[in-house]
């Protein structure tokens, strides 16, 4: 895949993991009942994954494979792109030589996922689409500066257990600085091609680099690994490493940040565009059409997305009206939205109150999980605040995966920036989405399933991953959540957010909507805080199409559930349905629908 999609995969929900004790996956072995084509397919998956990890060593580190931990990757180069495209073409040719009809049912699903993923990725290498991606190498959501500092901080995915871990991190940090310089070169090419970022994206990036520069040396996120050491690191090595990290921050990393910051502020910002949508760029319409299919895994047009969003917004507004009446509020919906945004009863008084609240929500949900899930992950979950260096532009909540062996937990991050805007009425639905049974269940179960090929354990598509998490929010009643009308309003508000995304994302990138027009639409149709609405809109501007996947994925999963309930009647068991959705990793929507149809055809139950 292109580097933009690599970064998106790492950032979207952090589908990847890290563990210093993890090893490279072993080659596949023949299983009873498998055909020669099954064996060839699994070998193809294995060889493809091995080659991908070598080309994308940071993916390997996230998965706990440290064979290439001394390098970051050859990102933002022609050679990297050529290698990725050649790998896709090779894999599709090899796949074509395998007879799908001779595969086991599970391997047929894997075949379909692999084929769909590679065909979609290959479409991203058409010259017109690739040109737009290359000319816009980073932004304030999808740039190396948004994830790499935390990755290398000693609290992120990179391990710091051995002397080699520390020395490898120094090598990667040096390469990170090189990647930033390459991004400057690509931005310059974009200036020649008249393909440039919006001014607001550039301004946000400048702020990010200002924040990193302002940390200094010993306050730097990059200095974190040498603030504490494992007992295995000698005193002499600790002294050496502290000096090496400080020197690298001072002489390599900060200068790279400063070069990028100065380029953006002095050279790029003056030529950045006032428009915010892709349709304003040469080739932007074709690129957005590609992103819709890539993100949703469905052949939808921008107009279809927009109209679906409008219909969902209208439906959810009726539910909000019912909750307004349930609490006895006197006034119209806009007045109710203002009340929810401004009344101090809904505003947390401290970060500790947020933390304690989420811990209590987690405990309540787990009491009801056995009623809905027979398949649950072994990986533990921790609850932490978003790191300070990125909290201003980060989402209200997010999830980072743990390790397949459980040595590193999954993490639910809650954002405490602008604390009064972190309304307590949205806490239950946010945890359902990011934590349990949302991202934590789906991502952990996939990576723990050693029967799946690596690309299904550790990869994914946004429609499935985010569609599942939004579907998990819809289980509020079954899991004993949102019994309070205000918390239920929070659930509707989050569903409304995903519906509005269909309207706003397509409005911005296909219909010429402005930033302020998009923000005003969101505020008029929900009780979102302006802080949140602004961050959301600026996210859609920076990473077009990604936000479409949530609602479209959720609607697809809900539709397959309704179909199964109607067909199976009293035999329908939500525990079995959820196992079917979750036990083969992240599936493109058409593949998931075919899988559930096959499950219905054999009578449901625990059938694979």
**pLDDT tens digits along 181-232:** 999 999 999 999 999 999 999 999 999 999 999 999 999 999 999 999 999 9
The secondary structure of residue 381, as a DSSP letter, is E
pLDDT of 327 reads: 96
- Cα separation, 133 vs 121, in Å, equals 13
- pTM of the complete model: 0.86
Top-confidence residue, 378 or 406: 378
- pLDDT value at 84 more than 70: yes
Mean pLDDT, rounded, for 7-15: 45
- The bridge status of strand 381-385 relative to strand 397-400 is unpaired
Mean pLDDT, rounded, for 72-101: 97
Q: Which two tokens stand for residue 551?
A: 């609602």
The DSSP string of 302-364 is HHHHHHHHHHHHHHHHHHHHHHHHHTT--S-HHHHHHHHHH-GGGS-S-HHHHHHHHHHHHHH
- pLDDT value at 556 more than 50: yes
- Cα separation, 538 vs 494, in Å, equals 18
- pLDDT value at 16 more than 70: no
pLDDT of 21 reads: 35
pLDDT of 23 reads: 56
**pLDDT band at residue 130 under the 50/70/90 scheme:** very high
- According to DSSP, the residues that pair with 573 across neighbouring strands are none
**pLDDT band at residue 15 under the 50/70/90 scheme:** very low
Q: Give φ, ψ of 384 to 5 degrees.
A: -140, 155
Helices and strands (DSSP H and E) totals, the chain: 25, 3
- Helix (H) / strand (E) element for 399: namely strand 397-400
Q: Give φ, ψ of 105 to 5 degrees.
A: -55, -40
Q: 280-329: per-residue pLDDT in tens?
A: 999 999 999 999 999 999 999 999 999 999 999 999 999 999 999 999 99
- pLDDT value at 456 more than 60: yes
Share of the chain above pLDDT 70, in %: 96
Mean pLDDT, rounded, for 450-458: 90
Q: Give φ, ψ of 432 to 5 degrees.
A: -55, -40
Mean pLDDT of the chain: 93
- pLDDT value at 483 more than 80: yes
- pLDDT value at 5 more than 80: no
- Helix (H) / strand (E) element for 190: namely helix 163-193
The number of C-alpha atoms within 13 Å of 142 and in the hemisphere containing its C-beta is 24
pLDDT of 529 reads: 84
Cβ contacts of 305 within 8 Å, gap of 6 or more: 292, 296, 502, 505, 506, 548, 552
Mean pLDDT, rounded, for 69-73: 96
Least confident of 19-33, 441-455, 518-532: 19-33
Q: Which two tokens stand for residue 451?
A: 């029967």
**pLDDT band at residue 2 under the 50/70/90 scheme:** low
- pLDDT value at 607 more than 80: no
Say if CB 19 and CB 64 are below 8 A apart. Answer: yes
**CA 587 from centroid of its chain's CA atoms:** 15
pLDDT of 6 reads: 52
Burial of 187 (0-12, 13-18, 19+ CB in 10 A): buried
- Cα separation, 446 vs 23, in Å, equals 17
Q: Which two tokens stand for residue 583?
A: 């036990």
Cβ contacts of 587 within 8 Å, gap of 6 or more: 109, 113, 461, 464, 595
Backbone dihedral region for residue 413 (phi beyond 0: left; psi -120 to 50: alpha; all else: beta): beta
Share of the chain above pLDDT 90, in %: 87
Q: 131-180: per-residue pLDDT in tens?
A: 999 999 999 988 999 999 999 999 888 999 999 999 999 999 999 999 99
Mean pLDDT, rounded, for 518-543: 92
- pLDDT value at 536 more than 60: yes
pLDDT of 405 reads: 83
**pLDDT band at residue 19 under the 50/70/90 scheme:** very low
**pLDDT band at residue 605 under the 50/70/90 scheme:** confident
Cβ contacts of 322 within 8 Å, gap of 6 or more: none
Angle between helices 163-193 and 127-135 (to 10 degrees): 110
Q: 410-427: per-residue pLDDT in tens?
A: 999 999 999 999 999 999
Burial of 368 (0-12, 13-18, 19+ CB in 10 A): middle
- Cα separation, 434 vs 412, in Å, equals 6
Sheet holding 397-400, edge to edge: 381-385, 410-414, 397-400
pLDDT of 29 reads: 85
């Amino acid at each position: 895949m292109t580097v933009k999609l690599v970064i998106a995969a790492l950032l979207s929900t952090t589908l990847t993991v890290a563990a210093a004790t993890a090893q490279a996956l072993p080659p596949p072995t023949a299983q009873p009942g498998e055909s020669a084509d099954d064996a060839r397919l699994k070998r193809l998956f294995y060889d493809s994954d091995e080659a991908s990890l070598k080309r994308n060593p940071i993916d390997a580190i996230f998965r706990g494979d440290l064979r290439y931990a001394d390098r970051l990757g050859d990102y933002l180069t022609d050679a990297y792109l050529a290698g990725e495209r050649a790998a896709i073409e090779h894999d599709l040719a090899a796949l074509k030589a395998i007879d799908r009809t001779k595969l086991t049912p599970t391997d047929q699903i894997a075949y379909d996922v692999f084929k769909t993923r590679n065909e979609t990725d290959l479409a991203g290498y058409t010259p017109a689409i690739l040109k737009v991606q290359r000319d816009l190498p980073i932004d304030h959501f999808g740039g190396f500066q948004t994830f790499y500092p935390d990755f290398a901080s000693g609290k992120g995915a990179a391990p710091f257990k051995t002397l080699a871990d520390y020395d490898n991190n120094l090598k990667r940090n040096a390469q990170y600085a090189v990647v930033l310089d390459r991004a400057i070169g690509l931005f310059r090419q974009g200036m020649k091609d008249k393909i440039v970022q919006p001014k607001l994206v550039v301004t946000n990036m400048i702020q990010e680099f200002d924040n990193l520069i302002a940390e200094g040396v010993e306050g730097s996120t990059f200095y974190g690994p040498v603030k504490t050491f494992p007992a295995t690191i000698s005193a002499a090595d600790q002294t050496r490493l502290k000096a090496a990290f400080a020197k690298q921050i001072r002489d390599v990393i900060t200068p790279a940040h400063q070069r990028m910051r100065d380029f953006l502020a002095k050279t790029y910002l003056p030529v950045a565009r006032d428009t915010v949508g892709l349709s304003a760029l040469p080739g932007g319409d074709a690129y957005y059409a590609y992103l819709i299919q890539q993100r949703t895994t469905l052949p939808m047009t921008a107009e279809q997305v927009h109209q679906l969003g409008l219909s969902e917004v209208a439906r959810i507004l009726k539910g909000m009206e019912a909750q307004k009446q349930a609490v006895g509020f006197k006034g119209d919906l806009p007045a109710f939205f203002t009340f929810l945004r401004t009344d101090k009863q809904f505003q947390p008084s401290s970060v500790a109150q947020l933390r304690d609240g989420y811990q209590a929500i987690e405990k309540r949900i787990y009491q009801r999980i056995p009623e809905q899930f027979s398949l649950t992950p072994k990986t533990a979950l921790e609850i932490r605040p978003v790191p300070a260096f990125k909290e201003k532009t980060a989402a209200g909540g997010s999830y980072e995966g743990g390790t397949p062996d459980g040595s590193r937990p999954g993490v639910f991050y809650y954002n405490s920036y602008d604390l009064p805007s972190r309304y307590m009425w949205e806490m239950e639905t946010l945890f359902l989405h990011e934590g349990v049974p949302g991202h934590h269940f789906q991502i952990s179960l996939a990576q723990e399933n050693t029967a799946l090929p690596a690309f299904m354990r550790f990869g994914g598509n946004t429609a499935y991953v985010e569609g599942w998490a939004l579907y998990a929010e819809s289980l509020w009643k079954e899991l004993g959540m949102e019994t309070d009308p205000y918390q239920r309003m929070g659930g509707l508000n989050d569903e409304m957010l995903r519906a509005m995304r269909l309207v706003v994302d397509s409005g911005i990138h296909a219909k010429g909507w402005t930033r302020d027009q998009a923000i005003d639409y969101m505020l008029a149709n929900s009780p979102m805080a302006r802080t949140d609405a602004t961050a959301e809109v600026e996210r859609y501007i920076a990473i077009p199409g990604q936000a479409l996947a949530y609602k479209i994925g959720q609607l697809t999963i809900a539709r397959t559930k309704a179909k199964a309930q109607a067909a199976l009647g009293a035999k329908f068991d939500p525990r079995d349905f959820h196992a079917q959705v979750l036990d083969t990793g992240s599936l493109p929507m058409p593949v998931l629908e075919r899988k559930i149809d096959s499950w219905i055809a054999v009578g449901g139950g625990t059938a694979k």
